[in-house]
Amino acid sequence: GGNGEADPADPCQRNDDDFSVEVPLGFTFDLYGSPQTSCFINNNGNISFGAGYATYTSTGFPVADFPMVAPFWADVDTRGPLGGVVYVKQGPNYLAVTWDHVGYYSIHDDLRSTFQLIISDGTFAPMGIGNNVCFCYDDMQWTTGSASGGVGGFGGTPATVGVNKGDGVNFFQIGRFG
């Protein structure tokens, strides 16, 4: 668990282990044949469907009962004054979430990582027609928070990158990074 749902007036506030209110997509995202029309933006480097997800120590996929798209599921902590926050941009056929220069737990902002997730209905031309998930990375400086066994941003339980339907069967895992 985290420290509760983020403020509805500011779904991307500085926080540790929080998640946004339910965000309507404005389009239908196909998650392994399961149509999704809303999501939760989770501070710990993923979006989820059906409920927010505060778990900060990642596991490999599949994860039963929790559908998510994770460009970098790790213990993100945006409370540090030098660290960035999470930004959201929506269009009629896409949602882009950027974790911009975010730090790691506990309030560490000496190392910062920037990554982005874009999901679409498959008609968002910059991703390529027919594609509905895109992961983008800039400067990645850490992999693990101290609550997940990391020291100085590394070691411990590795971050997970991929997509999980939540049925215990359908997923793809690009990797685990420690």
pLDDT tens digits, 103-119: 999 999 999 999 999 99
In this prediction, residue 12 carries a pLDDT of: 64
What pTM was estimated for this model as a whole?
Answer: 0.93
In this prediction, residue 7 carries a pLDDT of: 56
Q: Report whether pLDDT(163) > 70.
A: yes
Q: What is the pLDDT of residues 102-159, one digit of tens each?
A: 999 999 999 999 999 999 999 999 999 999 999 999 999 999 999 999 999 999 999 9
99: closest CA among 150, 61, 46, 57? 46
- CB atoms under 10 Å from CB of 172, counted, come to 13
**Which residues fall within 8 angstroms of residue 9, CB to CB, at 6 or more apart?**
none
Q: Report whether pLDDT(170) > 60.
A: yes
Kindly provide the residue ranges of all beta strands, DSSP E only, lying in 46-170, ordered along the sequence: 46-48, 68-73, 76-77, 86-91, 94-104, 108-120, 133-137, 159-164
What tokens were used for 128? 């390529």
In this prediction, residue 178 carries a pLDDT of: 85
